Structure 1
Amino acid sequence: MGTGNHSQIRRIVISGYYGFSNSGDEAVLRSILLALEAEGSAQGVQIQPVVLSADPAWTSQMYGVESVRRMHPGDLWHALRGSDGLISGGGSLLQDATSAKTIPYYTGVMKLAQLLGKPTFAYSQGIGPVNRRWMDPMIRDVMKRSAYVSVRDVESAALLERIGVPPERIDVVPDPVMGLPLPANAAAAGLSARRAEEPPLVGVSLRRWRSDGADLARAAEALVALSKRKPVRLRFLPFHTPSDTESSELVMERLRGRLGEGSTAELAAPGDDPQQMLLEVSRCDALFGMRLHALIYAANRMVPMLGLSYDPKIDQFLHRLGITAIGTTEQLDAEAFADAACALLDNRDGWQARHKQAIDLLKQQSQKPAQQIVQLLRHTISR
């Protein structure tokens, strides 16, 4: 390629948990794509993404990008060989809590790109938990060989440092979804203020974690307690379908006939577009969230939140805002929850004023990985 004034083209493969109907991970992808497009335009580099997906046809249709099968060796090989680099992230890719196969897969994709001589970039990853020590060398090797490494919290950076990645090579940045904008049609879709006579709208994002369902049962009791303090409109937001839909329906069944006077419960159906889910969250007066990206969406739109922790990543994100989880999957006091929720609903402006500075900083910093990656790609063009 030449080095004139015309925009230069760079093909970049993007690896992550995409094409699985998970709104949080799809929001990560949408955020990365928008940030790369914006930074490429600013720096004179045209980024052509190639997304590794479980459902390439859906991914291509949703985002208007090229997509290939993430588990097909031939597709993976051809995509990487024809690329100018690989982005791994974001999300909780390098952890072994969900499966022992996760870390070998994502580090394997990075290793293949490196063997092909392609620069690799870790984009705002959440690292850990890593309970199997034999996986440490896999992570250390690919991270030390990466052109740029960014993680979404100091705990992830500390884990990488512990296993041997030099700390000066690690950027701590926010989750990319902090920079996700509302859809272009947000005004037409109706972001009008709630009428005074309507009960406040409380978003609820729950997932099944405990096999016995005790965590969801406690969440239901907490919502009942809130509804008896004041009328509320509970709107359940399924971030990962169909599993979150099933969990929401289970909790709604526990609420049936038990809500306080004037309170209601309903299930949202925002579809697959992560920006439409962001729009749903933006309409809430408060949010009770178990899904990490439900809480990130709320912060993005300055919606007061109560987090229910099932994983350290929930606490890590809340701590960046100066917030403590209202409970965990092992313990949630219904009356304490109702107290806290009423306090948020009664003083939304106060919550926003307290947390605005931290949230604005996270939104600003969320663009840094795209800036760094495009800059590195631009330098490879000019060499």
Structure 2
Amino acid sequence: MGPIRAVCCGYYGKGNAGDEALLASLLQMLPEGVTPVVLSGNPPQTRDRYQVSAYNRMSAFSVWQVLRQSDVFIWGGGSLIQDVTSAVSPLYYAGLMGLAQGLGLKTIAWGQGVGPLQRPFTRQIAKQTFSRCTRVSVRDRGSAALLAQWQIPFTMAPDPVWALEGKPVPGLWDLPAPRVAVNLRSHPLLTPARLDTLTRALISFQKATNTCLLLVPFQASQDLAIAQSIQAQLPGPNHLLMLEDPRELKGLFRGVEMTIGMRLHSLIMAAAEGCRCFALSYDPKVTQLMAELELPGWELADIPEDPNIISKLWIEHYANGEPLSDISIQAIVDRALIHEELLHTFFANFFSSP
């Protein structure tokens, strides 16, 4: 049998570092003999960054042609099936999965964060689509509980990005130390008043700790303006870092003492690299991670109105908080590699079939 073509589908090529990290993790974990074909919002960028074939995810003709010429279809991680951001998103991904299944491709839902699903219609579509997958793996207990309720077999393991191989960031060690990373994203709960409070808390924190603050946007369209606004008000050393390679982005946190993060993958990457973390949760997936790792933090809606209260807690965590131990990190990474094991087992059976 010749090379197996596997179509990789996710929120790729859209400028979101977390989803790019999921793609990088998937490509890292695919066994030899499998040729990945990526559906992307920016095919030239995806081809150049990962050295893979990539096609426009919104071109019906291209998608149809790619599926007809392939053997396997993989939902490649992330919160693809949720209707909080948009009711269109689950319809798009479920539609592609359904088309692949209709064309006879083997289908894998891999590293999924399922939900929230607030509409009965999208819940039913999700249930039907997952039930027809050849393999399913999820990354959190909430997703597992939903699939168990639907009586759909699944494998659960930590987010695949835990096991992504990081790369050194050129010039990082030339920046002043110690360093603290900050990642905030736009969200209705991050009101102008709350952003102002957090900014004033960061100013107080920096004055007390003499740290270099690294503003780290994960998605330019939602994070960059906030990072620039904060940077303009900081009194001490700071640097804004927009890293395109997700492996470098993860490697960044090796040189950081503490991370204050909103985005799920900012916290996962930081924790995986042995960095102290303080979470600001805007989403159930972040709240679940806080509970699982016992991370200090707040729901955005519960942030104190007094910036001094916030800065004092940050200073306390910076001075006395503990990152995950090397043993704990390795245990999580080992479990995250269950996603890789699922792929290798699946494709081993695929190669051995007549």
Same fold (TM over 0.5): yes
Q: Please show how residues 117-266 of structure 1 align to structure 2 within 5 Å.
A: 117-162=104-149, 164-166=150-152, 169-183=153-167, 186=168, 189=170, 199-210=177-188, 212-253=191-232, 255-256=233-234, 259=235, 263-266=236-239
Sort the Cα spacing of 1:131 and 1:214 in 2 relative to 1 into closer, same or farther, 3 A: farther
Q: Do 2:29 and 2:343's aligned partners in 1 also have CA atoms closer than 8 Å?
A: no
What is the CA distance between 1:157 and its match in structure 2? Answer: 1.1
Structure 1's consecutive aligned runs of 4 or more residues displaced over 4 angstroms after TM superposition are 190-194
Q: CA deviation at 1:341?
A: 2.4
Q: Which residue of 2 aligns with 1:302?
A: 274
CA displacement, residues 163-192 of structure 1 (integer Å, 9 cap, x when unaligned): x233xx111111111111122xx28x3675
Alignment of 1:56-71 (within 5 A): 56-71=43-58
Q: Distance in 1 between matches of 2:42 and 2:217?
A: 20
Instruction: Report matched runs for 1:15-94 at 5 Å.
Output: 15-36=9-30, 40-41=31-32, 46-94=33-81
Output the CA distance in 1 between the equivalents of 2:174 and 2:41: 38
Shift of 1:355: 4.1
Instruction: Give 1:84 shift.
Output: 1.3
CA drift of 1:199 comes to 5.0
Kindly indicate whether the alpha-carbon contact (under 8 Å) linking 1:140 and 1:165 is maintained by their aligned counterparts in 2: no
Amino acid at match of 1:370: E
Residues 1:287 and 2:274 are matched in the alignment: no
Q: Contact conserved, 2:218 with 2:242, CA < 8 A, in 1?
A: no
Quick one: distance in 1 between partners of 2:289 and 2:163? 15
Distance 1:282 1:199, change over 3 A: closer
Q: Secondary structure at the match of 2:224?
A: helix
2:301 to 327, 330, 335: 330
Partner of 1:181: helix, strand, or coil?
A: coil
Q: 1:287-338, CA deviations, whole angstroms, 9 ceiling, x for partnerless residues?
A: 00011111111012111110100001111122221224x2222232333432
Report the secondary structure of 1:93's partner residue: coil
Contact 2:281 2:300 in 1 (8 A): yes
Which residue, 5, 20, 24 being the options, matches 1:11? 5
Q: Tell me if structure 2 keeps the 8 A contact 1:176–1:367.
A: yes
Contact 1:110–1:142 (8 Å) recurs in 2:
yes
1:371 matched to which residue of 2? 341
- Tell me how far 1:128 sits from its aligned partner: 1.0
Instruction: Look up the equivalent residue of 2:352 and give its one-letter code.
Output: S
Contact 1:123 1:150 in 2 (8 A): yes
Deviations 1:64-98 (A, max 9, x none): 00011111111111111211111102011111111
Identity, % of aligned pairs?
Answer: 33
Matched, 1:340 2:340: no
SS in 2 for 1:127: coil
1:191 & 1:236 partners in 2: Cα distance?
13
* Higher mean C-alpha displacement, 338-347 vs 229-238: 338-347
**How far apart in 1 are the matches of 2:280 and 2:333?**
23
Amino acid at match of 2:164: L
Which letter maps to 1:365? R
What is the TM-score of this pair, normalised by structure 1? 0.86
**Root-mean-square deviation over aligned CA pairs:** 2.1
Residues 172/193 of structure 1: CA separation in 2 closer, same or farther (3 Å cut)? farther
Matched residue type, 1:213: P
Query: CA contact under 8 A between 1:90 and 1:122: conserved in structure 2?
Result: yes
2:100 equivalent in structure 1: 113
Distance in 1 of aligned mates of 2:137 and 2:97 = 15
Q: Take 1:298 and 1:175, find their aligned partners in 2: how far apart are those partners?
A: 13
The whole-number CA distance in structure 1 between the counterparts of 2:302 and 2:207 is: 21
Q: 1-side partners of 2:349 and 2:154: how far apart?
A: 20
Say how many residue pairs are matched: 350
Q: Does structure 2 retain, via aligned residues, the 8 Å contact 1:234–1:266?
A: yes
Q: How far, CA to CA, are the matches of 1:218 and 1:25 in structure 2?
A: 29
Task: Decide whether the 8 Å contact of 1:143 with 1:165 is kept in 2.
Answer: no
In the TM superposition, residue 134 of structure 1 has moved relative to its aligned partner by: 1.1
**Letter of the aligned partner of 2:15 in structure 1?**
S
Measured in 1, the distance between the counterparts of 2:196 and 2:114 equals 30
